[in-house]
Chains A and B, each alone.
Chain A
């Protein structure tokens, strides 16, 4: 009880106010950007960057489910993205199916692949799993390079530009809500338990294999959708868009934002997409500055910008709900007052 009161009135409250201020500012910027894009006052180039940022948000949040929340080090995210991109593009080019349906199918195919890949490889841990998933990503790339229907190294062109800022925004929002809601549930706690201590998780009745495969499949599904959006934004894809480097880029966003923080992934994805563009003025020094910023941040905050915290933790939202839950229960005494119900 005392703790909660201290939290509200003492030193932390300034941080809370600042957090509300920051959240409000971000909200205003988002609103302004949306109005700008809607009215067409944001220039074409910048709105393109924003779409990529939103796609990266989907990729980072979904990879965070695998790497951050479930603690399974995957380097194969670009592979799932590639599958989604190619599947959706082929469906729109040859069959002209509606875009939402196509994205859904891309998600299903990627998820299925995530499941198939997940079952055997998730017996591996840590570095070994990383290498296995890296291998998976490369296999996808090489297969795409050698198939006829994908156009091989020439790539796949003539994809309709179906991705808009708003469709990307909608999907990104859905991703955040779906993964966020999963995380804040009993299933989400099972993912985290697997990350924290697999043996203890098993002993607590959690089917760790199931949850690892589940994390992989859900993460892959959203990566597939992101791939679909990406393809219909670029209008041209080739296997070079989905190299190992791409997986690393997404991983950097997740690590920088904080393994186990959705808020962190969102912010890191947006910042790391816009930052290199903003640094264009520095010409050839741009990537050096970018790299130095990353190194600096990792030295100062090795747990990432947000650690495992979410925006709600800074705003004090979670705690309020806590207090409510407590007050609904009659004040219970210790030990003796709990009779019966031994189960």
Chain B
């Protein structure tokens, strides 16, 4: 059974079909890229997958269970986490709290345990603390733990967002333009980071990206969207030479 199965996903806004019969299969350990010109509907696909939008029609199966129409928090708890195109950290909170919040669904104690400070509370809070510090060290953010998230340099905010998504303990990680606004060195570092994180956390990764060097180096398989329609699918080499893709990006060749 594949980890994620998307069948004929369609999303309409009024008369506009943003995504038209999108299909995708992710197997464990896959790293797949979703590319396409601006406005092709890539982020809409992400929003449908993560429950931000309820798709107009189609099915989304996560580990064989239907998840379309569920709330985002339910889908996150079932093992699919995401980052956002325009970084959505808890800006006014510390780096430390950004991560700690994301361990919320792994804490099992109830309100009473918190109010009366039961042993369960202390135990789980300590675990959260340790896991948070571990993540912060892995991502090299430990030194910045007491800083306000919005005060971090851009690249580190991106890293923090990935770290925060990992704190929810996902099987699938969706990255929405992780390299946006990064210079070539930062993109290079990010490429390595994603690859490393994938191995370290046994992840399956589905990412949207405009940076072709990152996509070509990282992804085993690519899906190309244009005006909501999947126009090509295949290995990076196949995609690079696909006339339809070239047309979508560069326009039709003048004859």
Contact = CB atoms under 8 A, between A and B. Distances in A.
Interface stretch (A19-27, A43-51, A190-198, A234-242): A190-198
12 contacts: A185-B109, A190-B101, A196-B93, A197-B91, A201-B101, A202-B76, A203-B88, A204-B165, A206-B104, A332-B133, A338-B134, A338-B137
Contact of A205 (B52, B89, B104): B104
Contacts of A178: 115
Contact of A196 (B92, B102, B105, B134): B92
Contacts of B105: 204-206
A196 B91 contact: yes
B103 interface: yes
A334 interface: yes
Interface stretch (B32-40, B180-188, B194-202, B232-240): B194-202
A332 B134 contact: yes
A68 to B, nearest CB: 13
A335 B101 contact: no
A181 B134 CA distance: 25
A246 interface: no
A203 B125 contact: no
A199 B88 contact: yes
B129 interface: yes
Interface of A: 3, 177-178, 181-182, 185-190, 192-193, 196-197, 199-208, 214, 308, 325-326, 329, 332-335, 338, 342-343
B196 A203 contact: no
Contacts of A214: 111
Contact of B168 (A177, A182, A205): A205
A154 to B, nearest CB: 40
A201 B115 CA distance: 23
Interface stretch (B55-63, B77-85, B151-159, B207-215): B77-85
Contacts of A192: 90, 93, 97, 101
Nearest to A3: B146
Nearest to B97: A189
B88 A188 contact: no
B28 to A, nearest CB: 12
Contact of B115 (A181, A193, A325): A181
A190 B88 contact: no
B73 A206 contact: yes
Interface of B: 50-52, 71-73, 76-77, 81-82, 84, 88-93, 97, 100-105, 107, 109, 111, 114-117, 121, 124-126, 128-130, 133-134, 137-138, 140, 143, 146, 164-165, 167-169, 196, 200-202
Contacts of A332: 133-134, 137
A206 B133 CA distance: 21
Contacts of A189: 97, 100-101, 104
Contacts of A342: 200-202
Given A206-B104, A206-B105, A186 B124 contact: yes
A333 B142 CA distance: 11
Contacts of A205: 73, 76-77, 102, 104-105, 168
Contacts of B73: 201-208
A289 to B, nearest CB: 33
Contacts of B51: 202
Contacts of B104: 186, 189-190, 193, 204-206
Contacts of A338: 134, 137-138, 200
A186 B105 CA distance: 9
A199 B76 CA distance: 12
Contacts of A202: 51-52, 71-73, 76
A268 to B, nearest CB: 21
A3 B124 CA distance: 27
Contact of B84 (A185, A196, A200, A326): A200
B92 A334 contact: no
Contacts of A325: 126, 129-130, 133
Contacts of A203: 50, 52, 72-73, 76, 81-82, 84, 88, 165
Contacts of B168: 204-205
A215 B82 CA distance: 27
Given A200-B89, A203-B84, A204-B81, 12 more contacts: A185-B121, A186-B125, A188-B114, A189-B100, A196-B93, A199-B72, A202-B76, A204-B101, A205-B102, A329-B133, A333-B137, A343-B169
Among all A-B residue pairs, the 4 with the closest Cβ atoms: A185-B114, A205-B105, A205-B76, A202-B72
B81 A334 contact: no
Contacts of A343: 169, 201-202
A29 B91 CA distance: 38
Nearest to A189: B101
A214 B111 CA distance: 10
Given A200-B89, A203-B72, A187 B84 contact: no
B58 to A, nearest CB: 21
Nearest to B129: A325
